[in-house]
Amino acid sequence: MRRNFRCFLMVNAALMLTACTPFDIAYTGIASQRHSGHPAPHPGDAPHPGGAPRPGDTSHSGRVSGSGGVPARPQFPTLHPGDEGALVEKVQSRLDRLGFKAGPPGSEYGPALRMAVWAFQKANGLPAVDRVDPPTWQALSHPERVRPLVPSGGSVRVEIDLRRQLLTAWKDGKPALISHISTGTGKPYCKNGHCGVAVTPTGDFRAWWRTAGWTTGPLGEQFYTVYFNGGIGFHGSERVPRHPASHGCIRVPLHNARPLFDMIQTGHQVYVRRPA
């Protein structure tokens, strides 16, 4: 009788834990690891020394580093680029519903999802890291509301946050697309005979010129560009690191370039801010 009662309690505890997982994710869809170690560093990012455990990584010990030995609740597996499976699909679906687009649906933690996770982490006050860790799981369950930089802006507009390196496209008063970006380095440059200081100026602007597909200029290739301040615009790029790296334009991931181009027409407002 006592053994039966104990089993009853264990089953109920498991059911309660499953019921409390964010956005209907159960423990049965754990992603399979396709790689033996950690992903290669993104261009411009410093590699993690010596392959030591990463802060916040629960994939080995099940505990959050630096948390005083307190297990993460709930203990979802930490996902890394290259992982695949049902849990990765759930993360992508959740991000897409929140406006953090990650390209076509799929089950692999690929480059597009990687940058969508960065954007989501930054929007929720978390460091942009190459993993879906316990703090990210918590934020996916209870995300912060996206607040406008310019509440009085037009119903269709773009807001660029230089401090957090985030772009938000608003439509009908709602955030329709939120993207990781890389803006001007703030440093002098000389390339192909063109010299200047790589600055992304703040201010209020309007889209004035749009170029579809790939174009090539003196400073490099651009994908679906929307110009809003002379020769400065936002465009797709194959290199959008986690730090300012452009000559002044706003680089966005390739998978977000066409949707932004289709949404923002000539005359739409573009606000560039550097919040305190």
d(Cα 71, Cα 73) in Å, to the nearest integer?
6
d(Cα 15, Cα 35) in Å, to the nearest integer?
32
Beta bridge partners of 113: none
Per-residue DSSP letters for 223-261? EEEEEEETTEEEEEES---SS--BSSSEEEEHHHHHHHH
Which of 24, 22, 56, 39 lies closest to 108, judged by CA? 39
Residue 153, SS3?
Answer: coil
Which of 273, 182, 170, 162 lies closest to 234, judged by CA? 182
Q: Are 263 and 275 in contact (CB under 8 A)?
A: no
Question: Pick the catalytic residue: 42, 80, 247, 249?
Answer: 249
Question: Pick the catalytic residue: 235, 247, 255, 268?
Answer: 235
Which of 204, 210, 195 lies closest to 263, judged by CA? 210
> Is 60 tagged catalytic?
no
> Is 235 tagged catalytic?
yes
Residue recorded with tokens 């990210």:
136
Side-by-side strand order, sheet with 232-237:
209-217, 220-229, 232-237, 250-253
Within 13 Å and on the Cβ side, how many CA atoms surround 135? Answer: 22
Q: Give the tokens for residue 167.
A: 């772009």
Residues tagged active-site: 235, 249
